[in-house]
Amino acid sequence: MIISPSVEILNKLIRHQIHNLFLLETVEEAVLARSLPEALYKTEKCFGQSKNKYYKKDGEVFFSIYHSGQYCVFLYFLARQVFLESPECRNLADKVYFLNKTLNGLDLYYEIEMPEVFHLDHPVGSVMGRASYGNNFTFSQLCTVGNNKGVFPKIGENVQMLSGSKILGQCVIGDNVIVSANTYIKDTDVPANSLVFGSSPNLVIKQRMS
C-alpha cells in the first residue's frame, strides 16, 4: 500500500494529534507503535476492495493521510486494534476513538465489529451502533444504526445506507439492499435485493433490477 506522504509522517501525526487533544503517555506511545502495522494491514485490505478512484494509484492501494474519509477508516481500525491487542490500555483506544469523532464527526466505537470491508462517503453526523454488519456495508452522512429496547439490527452484505437513513431495532436487512435517503426503518425486516424508502410502519419496498 502506498501511504502518502509517508508512514513516518503518519506516525508523527497520530502522536501529535492525540497528545495535543488528550495527552499521550509514554507507555501509550509504545502501544501505538505495536498496533500500527496491523491497523495498516486491515486498512489496506479494506481499501483494496473500494471502487473509489481515490483509493488506488498506479494500480496499488493508496492511503492519503490527508483524505478525511480514508483517515477516518484507518482511525477506527487503529482504535479497535489497540482495544483488542492491549486491553490494559483502554484509555488509549478511547483517545483514538475520540480523535476520530473530533476530526470527522463520526461516532464509530471501537467495540463495534465492522466487517473487513466497509465503505463510507462524507460520514459527518453518522452514528453506527452495535449491530451485526455484513461485508461491503456502505453508509453516508447523517446515517444512524441503533437499538430499540436493547435490540440491534442484523445487516446483510452489500447494504448501502444513503444520506439521512436510519435502521433501528429488531430488523433483518437482507443482502444487496439500498436504503434510500431519509428512510426510517424500525423493527422491520427488508428482503434481499430490495430498494426501500419511506418510514416504518409504512415502508415501500421494491425489487431491485439486476
CA distance 134 to 157: 4
- Residue 18 CA to chain centroid, in angstroms? 20
Three-state secondary structure call for residue 17: helix
Same domain, 39 and 99: yes
- The per-residue pLDDT of the chain, averaged, comes to 96
Each residue of 135-172: b (16+ CB within 10 Å) or e? ebbbbbbbbbbbeeeeebbbbbbbbbbbbbbbbbbbbe
- Rounded to an integer, the average pLDDT of 23-46 is 96
Same domain, 132 and 189: yes
Per-residue pLDDT at 134 exceeds 70 = yes
Residue where a domain terminates, one of 83, 105, 127: 105
Q: Does 192 reside within a domain?
A: yes
CATH number at residue 166: 2.160.10.10
Q: How confident is the model at residue 117 (pLDDT cuts 50, 70, 90)?
A: very high
- Residue 129: domain span: 118-207
Q: Does 95 reside within a domain?
A: yes
- Confidence (pTM): 0.96
Q: How many folded domains does the chain comprise? A: 2
Q: Cα separations (Å) of 40 from 65, 129, 131, 201?
A: 12, 24, 24, 42
CA distance 121 to 5: 22
Same domain, 137 and 68: no
Beta strand pairing call for 194-197 and 204-207: antiparallel
CB atoms within 10 A of CB 8: 9
CB atoms within 10 A of CB 210: 5
Per-residue pLDDT at 209 exceeds 90 = no
Q: Does 113 reside within a domain?
A: no
Q: Does 110 reside within a domain?
A: no
- Rounded to an integer, the average pLDDT of 60-77 is 97
Lookup: cell for 189:
425486516
Q: How confident is the model at residue 210 (pLDDT cuts 50, 70, 90)?
A: low
Same domain, 29 and 94: yes
